[in-house]
Structure 1
Amino acid sequence: MTSFRGMWVVVVPVLLLTAACAGQDGAGVAPDAVPSALPADVPVLRIDYTGGFVRPETNVTRLPAVSVYGDGRVITEGPTILSYPGPALPNIQVRTISKAEVAKLVEQARAAGVGSSVDVGTPSITDVATTRFTIRGPVGTERLEVYALGEATGPEAGLTAAQQAAREKLRTFTDKVTDPAGAATQPYQPTAIAAVAGPWVATPETAKQPRVEWPGPALPGTSLGEGLQLGCVTVTGAAVQQVIAAADKANAATPWTSGGKRWSITLRPLLPDETDCASLSTDR
């Protein structure tokens, strides 16, 4: 299911197209050459979100809308519970498609404008996220960033008819790749989990939440930046299943106990191309 989220950190609207390694725009590349050129754990196509007005822990742990790997794995976030507090772990789903279908998705991304100098305009909207499209292949890494893709849908956002049409093609492609009709999926089984921790603060909504003992590495872990009061630890090995089991008894507002203190934890299963907390950088 596609979700264009409203966010909480002000960002400057930007349209960015880069061909990082070869300095080319990718025109004329045979689509079926893209998947086989990269290792299985490298995404050949990814759609994710950056910036917006969000809490720091949300910005760090936000999942890509979709990650398509060269071996055919397609990883998306499944339906979420809208009531508060939500589950402690996100609902990540995986399906497998053929390499020919992977190549077709890359081709469709290019047809939608990724890998070109398409003009999507700069809408007069603030505080929302930028949708980033990334293709990796023989010509290097290409990115197209579109500010307020889900929010700026009409002339009231200060967009021309051509800019609106360009955005609609990208929205249509995003809907297709993130929510394919009738596709069979199964829960994603991570081999590592990043846990972003900060001091737990009681509120009228959370004060009665039962505590859950944290079974992973000592919190709060490596600092995520001065003044943030946030740290991150990477859960690996046997502790991954212990954390998943504990998360079944917790929710997004649970006070986790570690080292005699209570912590608020945001759990982020790591994807196949991610290895530790450093992988959560928004510039990937």
Structure 2
Amino acid sequence: MGRSSWAVAAAVPLVMLVSACAQPAADAAPAGSPPAAEALGADEVALRVTHAGGFVTPQSIPSRVPALSIYGDGRVITEGPVAAIYPGPALPNLQQARISAADVDALVRRAVKAGVGAGTDLGQPAVADAATTRFVVTTEGGVRTTDAYALEMPDDAGVLTAAQKSAREKLSHLLAALQDLPKTLGKGAVSEEGGYQATVVAGIATPYTRQPENVVELGAPAPVAWPGPALPGARLNPNVDVGCVAASGDQGRAVLAAAGKANAMTPWASGGKQWSVQVRPLLPDESGCADLAKQE
């Protein structure tokens, strides 16, 4: 496909859950020096940016895709642009590219220098229900994270100190650099751009509900037979009616093929019932539904 998108700015969803804004415990210890990329496994995350919180539906939490994942072997996986249509596509537009080991090292060092994993006080802007930008980096001391609530929102209420603003500005600059790796790393540094080919795909299922009349008038899609493991699968959270199944091999390919022809409103038929399913290709460091259950 043409030029890939490197935009990793948060797109805050619309309904239901507020982010936990405090820094995680991993921030408490200072980050160590970043390891050389060669010391990381091919599927080990060197640097990642995700977005958490905001108002979201329960099933959208585990189906979220990290905005940026950089792996030990230089693979870079991002979510590309999606057509502004309704209903939207059933599959996220995941794109993969590759950078050198030296550039992996450079970006990890840049993240550590920007304060990822340092436990810096970032304050909290007086903004309700914003998303949290989470930076994850692998260092000699292990995996370190930093959460920045409402990172791209202005401090209109003036509640942040000068030090907090400075720390947040460093993370904003890091995010901007990661938004455009070809510009950040230089001409020719990013290669092999194209669609990401997942080997395992998850289906996050909830009972299908009848659509509003205005949606029906647009042409409600006909039910499609679910080609993967029987839905809804095991609950990701015992307190929330959201199930998950994972498909690989022939089943995984069948799910991806069917989802490629479906949209976000497609009802999926399984076990004599209809289900709403969010299809989530798993990333190289993910193996099944248990990995998605950790999403926030």
Using structure 2 for the length normalisation, give the TM-score: 0.86
Q: 1:175 to 1:205 in 2, by over 3 A?
A: farther
Is 1:217 aligned with 2:229? yes
Q: From the superposition, tell whether residues 79 and 157 of structure 1 become closer, same or farther in structure 2 (CA, over 3 Å).
A: farther
- Tell me whether 225-234 or 140-149 shows the greater mean CA deviation: 225-234
1:26 and 2:27 correspond: no
Q: Distance in 2 between matches of 1:174 and 1:41?
A: 22
Mapping of residues 1-284 of structure 1, within 5 Å? 1-7=7-13, 8-16=16-24, 18=26, 25-27=30-32, 29=33, 31=34, 33-151=35-153, 153-156=154-157, 158-181=159-182, 183-184=190-191, 185-203=193-211, 204-207=213-216, 208-282=220-294
Offset at residue 237 of structure 1 (A):
0.7
Looking at structure 2, the residues matched to 12 and 69 of structure 1 have their Cα atoms a distance apart, in angstroms, of: 27
Of 271-280 and 129-138, more deviation after overlay is shown by: 129-138
Q: How big is the shift at 1:60?
A: 1.1
Aligned partner of residue 117 in structure 2, secondary structure: coil
User: Which deviates further from its counterpart, 133-142 or 203-212?
Assistant: 203-212
Unmatched 5+ stretches in structure 1: none
Paired with 2:143 and 2:239, the residues of 1 have a C-alpha distance of: 33
Letter in structure 2 aligned against 1:13: C
- Deviation for aligned residue 1:258: 1.2
CA RMSD of superposed structures (Å): 2.1
Relative to structure 1, the CA distance from residue 144 to residue 35 in structure 2 (aligned partners, 3 Å threshold; closer, same or farther) is same
Checking the alignment, whether the CA contact within 8 Å between 2:234 and 2:244 is kept in structure 1 is: yes
**Please, which moves more after superposition, 224-233 or 238-247?**
224-233
**Distance of 1:80 and 1:9 partners within structure 2:** 24
Q: CA contact under 8 A between 2:198 and 2:283: conserved in structure 1?
A: yes
Per-residue CA shift, 1:84-127, capped at 9, x if unaligned? 21100000011100000000000111122113233311111122
Select between 114-123 and 60-69 the one with higher mean Cα deviation. 114-123
Where structure 2 has 5 or more consecutive residues not aligned to the other structure, the ranges are 1-6, 184-189
Separation in 1 of the partners of 2:20 and 2:257? 40
CA distance in 1, matches of 2:291, 2:280: 11
1:10 maps to a residue whose letter is V
2:291 and 2:11 map into 1 onto residues whose CA distance is 22
CA contact (8 A) 1:17 1:144 kept: no
Q: Distance in 1 between the 2:85 and 2:19 partners?
A: 28
Matched residue of 2:203: which SS?
strand
Secondary structure at the aligned position of 1:53 is classed as coil
- Write the distance in 1 (CA, Å) between the matches of 2:236 and 2:263: 23
Deviation at 1:206, TM superposition (A): 4.1
Q: Deviations over 1:169-207 (max 9, x none)?
A: 212211321333465521000000010011111212443
Distance 1:279 1:224 in 2: 10
Q: Secondary structure at the match of 2:152?
A: coil
